[in-house]
């Protein structure tokens, strides 16, 4: 049940973050340049938004992959190990992503 709720809440967060991302990055008013992108990435608020977006994407993707894999009966015996692999892999990807975002 907990994974189901994580999947649903991350989906709601993704609706918000993806809409914001599309409006700001892909369809901004005027012409977008590298300078405008770097200016946005200098703002701590946008860094926080990007980190939250990254967290929502990782939670949604990894919980979905975990559920799909554990739906296959022969992988059910590895459920606990798969959960740990998912959590550790997600944490590593999150740290790598945050380092990339903070590098700007």
Measured between alpha carbons, how far is 8 from 6 in angstroms, rounded to an integer?
5
Lowest average pLDDT, out of 2-11, 48-57, 74-83, goes to 74-83
Yes or no: say if 90 and 39 are a contact pair by the CB < 8 Å rule: no
Number of domains, the chain? 1
Cut 0.75: pTM above it: yes
Q: Which domain holds residue 70?
A: 2-26+34-103
pLDDT at 29 over 90: no
CATH number at residue 98: 1.20.1300
Q: What pLDDT sits at residue 80?
A: 85
């Amino acid at each position: 049940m907990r994974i189901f709720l994580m999947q649903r809440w991350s989906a709601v967060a993704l609706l918000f973050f993806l809409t914001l991302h599309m409006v700001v990055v892909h369809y901004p008013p005027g012409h977008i340049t590298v300078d405008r992108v770097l200016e946005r990435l200098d703002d701590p608020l946008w860094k926080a938004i990007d980190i939250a977006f990254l967290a929502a994407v990782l939670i949604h993707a990894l919980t979905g992959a975990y559920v799909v894999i554990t739906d296959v009966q022969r992988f059910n015996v590895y459920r606990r190990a798969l959960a740990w692999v998912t959590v550790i892999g997600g944490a590593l990807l999150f740290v790598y992503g945050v380092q990339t975002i903070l590098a700007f």
